[in-house]
Each structure stands twice: as C-alpha cells, then as structure tokens.
Structure 1
Amino acid sequence: MSEVFRRRRREQAEQMAEQALAVPNREWGPWDADEPHPDHERIDLGGLRLPHNPDFDVRLASVGDQHVGVVVLWEESSLQLQALAAPKTAGLWDDIKTKIKAGAQTLEERDGVFGTELAGQVTVEGATRPARYIGIDGPRWFLLAVVNGRAAVDDGVAEAFLDFVKDIVVVRGDEPMAREESIPLRRPNEQPVEEEDKPVNPFRRGPEISETR
C-alpha cells in the first residue's frame, strides 16, 4: 500500500470521526458547550449562547452590577433564564424546587417536556400571575427557565419559548465555582472581565431576576 493511499485513508477516517463527534446524541438541548450540538450562529453572552429569534426582545438581567440572567419578552409574556454552577455529583433541581415551593404555595408539580416542572400562580408585589418554573440539570450546571404571563397558560405561545430553551448552549467553563453561583454573563462582543467578583446566588440574595433596559 503506497504512502499516499495510507495518508488518504487516514485523512478520511479523521474526517469521519469529526463528523461523528459533531452529531448531537440527543434530540434537543439545552446543550453543554463541550458536547456535540447544532452548529449555527447564536448570541454569545459568555455563560449562555442563545438562539436567534427576531420576534424576541432579549435583555440581560442584573443583581447589582453583575449580569446574572436573561429576560426574553414576547406576546405579553416573559421568559427568565438563570444558569448556575452545580456539583459534579448531583443536580440542583430537587433542592431548588423545594425552595421555590416554600415561597409559593399555589405551585404544583407536573410533567413537562424537560421533566418535572412547577406551575400555578405566584404573587409578586401584591399582584397574582400565572407562572411555570422549568429546571434543567446539566454537567456541572443548572438552568432555570421561568415563564410568566400568557405563555404560562397558553401552550401555543409557550411552545416558542420552549423551542428557544431547547437550543441554548451553556458554557460552564473550567474555573472553580461555588454551588448555585451564577455563571458569568456579559454583553455580546464584550470582553470577559478578569477581575474576581463576589459570587452571586439569586436564590439567597434578592428577589426573582430583574429586568434591565
């Protein structure tokens, strides 16, 4: 066998291996940045990469001077997203469900597209509104998606939000992080901040995610 033929066979095998790695092994996400996932342009917010939807109004949400989440507005509804660091050995959703239910007695567990979710009524600043809490445990991260408004009770409107969540990529990174610490976010095309910040835990400090303009 000639050297040229062997080299060509080797190159073909490497190309096939790369293609196999690029094929997702699940039907949908949210995806971990290190696993095979659909390769298309997304909005790069650092810890989260979001799919494009021209109908959505996407905004960063902050606690103090730190970006800790995302608010998506559409059709009299909102989708709030928070990505948190999780332990290697266990997920966070069971513990976080308990915390959420303790502060909202009218929420009930039900089966959803991502597994068990919480749905019902919540009271914010004296006003009652419908809400859905969806928790997704990933490798060393946890993603919380909170649906408020019309989409919390209208499955047709909610479907667009759920499809959005299915194509999110979570970038956990390799740096050590405390349990439930917010995975850092930044504005698109903004360079990561190198200075160390005090960890922010939205479940222990302050109310639910706030909207920034």
Structure 2
Amino acid sequence: MAIFRRGKKSEQTDELDATNDSTQLEDATDDTVDATLGDDTTGVDAPETTVAAKAAPLDREGNGPHDSSEVDLSEDDRLDLGALLIRGVAGMELRLEVDESANQVVGATAVIADSAVQLQAFAAPRSMGIWDEIRSEIAESILAQGGTADEVQGDLGTELRTRMPSAGPDGRTVFAPARFTGVDGPRWFLRAVFSGRAAIDDEAAAPLLEVVRSVVVVRGDSAMAPREMLTLTLPVQPDAEGADGEASQDDADTTVRADDLSPFERGPEITEVR
C-alpha cells in the first residue's frame, strides 16, 4: 500500500467544494440533542416522528465499519489516522486531504486503479441517525444543480447514485458519477463517497468496499456537535527519514496535499453540496 501519493485534482472537485451552511447544527452537542429527543439511557421515550433510525448495515457490528469498542486495538494492523483506523489492500494508495489554512487533515481517500473512495467521520447523536437526513439534502442539492440522484440499496444500506454536472473543456455540461454511502454508528457517522469506475461498477467498487468495511472509527468521549468532523491526524511514517535522520527528497515529493474529492470545504461540519 502506498501512502501520501500526490494525485491530479479531479474535474469533479470544484463542483463538490461549494457548500451551504443551512444544515449545520453547531449550537447543540450530541448529548444535549439526545436529552431533547429522549435517549434510551434517560428512561424518556421520544416521539417516533422525531427520532430517525440509525442507517447502518444489519451486519455492521460483525463485518464493519467498526466502533473502536468493538475491536482489539492492541494487536491492530490498521493505519492510525486518529479518528479513523484504515486497513490497506493490495494496490491501494491513500491520499490525505488537508485544509492548509487550518493545518488540519479533513479526509482520507483510498485509490485503487481508476477508482477511489473518500472517507470522513463525524459526531452524531447517541440514539438517532443522521444519514437519512443528509442523504436527502445531498440529493436535493444535486438535483437543483441539474444532476441526477437515485436511491438504491447497496451493501451498506441505502445509498445515492448520482451524476454531478460540471463544465467540460469545450464548455459543454458533463456529468461525473459519484456514489454516496453513509453509516450511522455509536455516536458517529461515517460517510464514504465512491468515484471513478467504482461509482458505476460494483466489481470495481468491491475492493474499496472492503476498505470501508475494515474501517474502525475512534469517536472519543468528548461532547461534540452533531455533524462536527472527528479529528484526523497524520500517521507516523517509520521509514520517512533517511540514514541521517532527515526526510529525504523523495518523501518530500509525496507528502500530503489537498487533492481529490473535498466535498465539504469547511471541514468541521457536514454541509449541503451546492
């Protein structure tokens, strides 16, 4: 598995970079939202119309994506990115997207051949899911741009198969496919966006789906606002230094840069794609 390889910026990026702040929930933590709705631990039942069911594959606890409480991390071979632990597969490159203004890692993209999947994790309420709402917001926004968005049932549950409009080199509108999937876990939400051939070809998506399934989300105990991004960090590269203890030029040429697929430019919150 290659790490931190620099890739070309995709044509799709500009369309995905624009955001809308209307979906942010910045003023309430996950715990206060649970208290309002009635969490299982409070003994107060919330009205059924106000609690969204968690959208996750029925076999999530057995086959992933996992919560850190569900695996033995003492003998784990996954790459540690802080909030995300990712296991590589043969032929995979891992690219990290960085918000240079904040010096913060805001996403990880696994690339295999001409397919990619971007991974981001966010805080979520303890007893309700947010994927159904987010999926609806994404679909509405893409449709408003003149694209298409269809809900289908996939390996991770309900997902969006979309075609994102953008201007081609000759000025004509072209459509880039993207496949949005989401998993509501214990106090976290994991979003995986498949692009390239994986967005339209299940066979091409299969090894990247394996990567998504192997992800472990480290939520932490701190109170966070729903949709606030969980902190990602750069992994330690044991071979990043040369014999003299300084990073080599080859390593410098493959360090992290913000590139492929940055759907939510602000980084800390999930927002609409506009």
Taking structure 1 as the reference length, what is the TM-score of the superposition? 0.75
CA gap 1:62/1:124 in 2 versus in 1, 3 angstroms: farther
CA contact (8 A) 2:85 2:217 kept: yes
The correspondence of residues 1-213 of structure 1 with structure 2, limited to 5 A, is: 26-36=61-71, 40-63=76-99, 64=101, 65-105=103-143, 106-124=148-166, 127-189=174-236, 200-203=268-271
What is the SS of the residue equivalent to 2:138?
Answer: helix
Q: Are the equivalent residues in 1 in contact too, given 2:165–2:176 (CA < 8 A)?
A: yes
* Higher strand content, 1 or 2: 1
Larger RCO (CA under 8 A, 6+ residues apart): 2
Deviation at 1:148, TM superposition (A): 0.7
**Is the contact made by 2:60 and 2:66 (CA closer than 8 Å) also made in structure 1?**
no
- Confirm or deny: 8 A CA contact 1:75 1:150 kept in the other structure: no
Cα separation, 2, equivalents of 1:125 and 1:87:
38
Task: After TM superposition, give the deviation of residue 124 of structure 1 in Å.
Answer: 4.5
- Unmatched 5+ stretches in structure 1: 1-23, 191-197, 209-213
Give the AA of the match of 2:183. I
Residues 125/28 of structure 1: CA separation in 2 closer, same or farther (3 Å cut) = farther
Cα separation, partners in 2 of 1:29 and 1:125, compared to 1, 3 Å: farther
Deviation at 1:45, TM superposition (A): 0.3
Q: Contact 2:198–2:204 at 8 Å: present in 1 too?
A: yes
1:26-65, CA deviations, whole angstroms, 9 ceiling, x for partnerless residues? 4310000011469540000000000022411101113342
- CA RMSD in angstroms comes to 2.4
Q: Give the SS at the match of 1:101.
A: helix
Contact residue 67 and residue 185 of structure 1 kept, 8 A: yes
SS in 2 for 1:34: helix
User: Displacement of 1:75 after TM fit?
Assistant: 1.7
Query: How many Å apart are 1:199 and its aligned residue?
Result: 7.9
Q: Percent identity?
A: 39
Aligned to 2:243: none
CA separation of 1:81/1:125 partners in 2, compared to 1, >3 Å: closer, same or farther?
Answer: farther
In our comparison, the structure showing a higher alpha carbon Rg is 1
Q: Residue 108 of structure 1 contacts residue 120 of structure 1 at CA under 8 Å; is this kept in 2? A: yes
Deviations 1:147-192 (A, max 9, x none): 01111111111000111111100000001111100000001129xx
Q: Structure 1 residues 84 and 25 mapped into 2: Cα distance closer, same or farther (>3 Å)? A: closer
Residues 35 and 27 from structure 1, CA distance in 2 versus in 1: closer, same or farther, beyond 3 angstroms? closer
C-alpha offsets along residues 50-100 of structure 1, whole Å, 9 cap, x if unaligned? 002241110111334221211122221221111000011211101110111
| SS of structure 1 residue aligned to 2:98 | strand
Instruction: Provide the rounded CA distance (Å) in 1 between the counterparts of 2:177 and 2:69.
Output: 35
SS in 2 for 1:137: strand
